[in-house]
Amino acid sequence: MPLHVHASAEAVLHSLAEYFVAQAQHAVADRGRFSVALSGGNSPRKLYELLATTPYREQVAWDQVYFFFGDERNVPPTDPESNYRMAREALLDPLTIADSQVFPVDTALPPAEAAEAYTRTIQAFFAPEEAIFDLVLLGLGDNSHTASLFPHTPVLHETSVGAREVFVEEKKAFRITLTAPLLNQARAVAFLVYGADKAAAVHQVIQGTRNVDEFPAQLIAPAGELHWFLDMAAAAALPPAAS
């Protein structure tokens, strides 16, 4: 499991941008398209802005890239909390990505229906037997959640491959998340984590005793590659050999 630890958050973002470009180029060369599940929250905004900027924007055949969302908040697409809105502002609009290449969660539906509809959307995009993202981007909360797989929620024990609704008690709100079995079918998963406030969670998820109810990101064990892109502050609690 490669760990890419860099001195600054800026260096981490460039490292992941280079990895994204390489994955996109390989996927387009091999299969004619690149499917990516985007992460939300705050950390990826700068990554998305970077990808939409020279030299990265010139290195990807963006018209062959298909964008999904690893999780979504149960809010309208115009809401400041919306992961879709963030991705649109930072990445999709600056690159003038066509709507036909973007697959948002339909948050106009009740959460359970939105999750069912998103499962169908994913099934329709991929071949029936293989819902496989080329790349899943993930973040990590300071409580060790990833996507919207929050501690002590029933979705952590979901065995189906798809999207599910989850009520997140600490947010007092529903979210829609891809399930761990679906995320784990990816050809590659890349975590982006920076900042000292994430150091304990990084340590618990990578080095701690397995306890997925407490540390949900431990569920992520993809069939393909798993990479962690960390700054030194986020990697601070890892032993030197690991980082």
Ligand X SMILES: O=C1O[C@H](COP(=O)(O)O)[C@@H](O)[C@H](O)[C@H]1O
- Does residue 111 belong to the site contacting ligand X (CB under 6 A)? no
Whole-number minimum distance, CB 45 to ligand X, in Å? 8
Q: Provide the minimum distance between the beta carbon of 146 and ligand X in the complex, in angstroms, as a whole number.
A: 6
- Contact between 172 and ligand X by CB under 6 A: the answer reads no
> Considering the rule CB under 6 A, would residue 83 count as an interface residue with ligand X?
yes
Q: Does 114 bind ligand X (CB under 6 A)?
A: no
Interacting positions 116-145 with ligand X (CB under 6 A): 138-141
Residue 43 makes contact with ligand X by CB under 6 A: yes
- Only one of the segments 33-41, 87-95, 159-167, 208-216 lies at the binding site for ligand X (rule: CB under 6 A); that segment is 33-41
Residue 153 in contact with ligand X, rule: CB under 6 A: no
Q: Is 40 a binder of ligand X (CB under 6 A)?
A: yes
Candidate list 42, 96, 159, 209; residue touching ligand X; CB under 6 A: 42
184's tokens: 């784990």
The answer to whether 74 contacts ligand X (rule: CB under 6 A) is no
